[in-house]
Amino acid sequence: MPLVRIDTLGAGRDRLDALGRAVHDALQETLGIPADDLFQILTDHDGTTGTLRYGGYLGVDRDEGIAYIAITMRAGRPAERKRALYRRIAELAHAYAGAEPRNVFVTVTENASADWSLGHGEAQYAPGPGPVIA
């Protein structure tokens, strides 16, 4: 159950939506995420009341077309699957939203099953005894 956050600078609603679809499709294709496992926070900054900082680093020159994509998911996927995910996100972001691959910045943060509550105050991935009332 990944939680995806995408931040862009002046991308507009349609491009932001296309980036969300690109990431979700890549997660399905490379990691086998179910189609209905869609949890995304999509934010487009206007450059005035909110903005993004970017720069060239490790030989990758970015510009105002930057798309920061932060994925939080349960731990356990091997590095080669993550590399496949990064490649596929860049490919689909280009195909769906016209994003230049150099501007597709992806991070993955992993955690444990007990770190998720999908509602009702329960840890659905790590069920245990009922709640303790203090």
Residue 131 falls in the annotated catalytic set = no
Q: Which residue has the tokens 């005894």?
A: 129
C-alpha pair distances (Å), 93 with each of 21, 36, 113, 123: 8, 20, 29, 32
Question: 2, 34, 78, 101: which one is catalytic?
Answer: 2
Residue 57 pairs in a beta bridge with: 60
| Rg for the chain, CA atoms, rounded | 17
Residue positions annotated with a catalytic role: 2
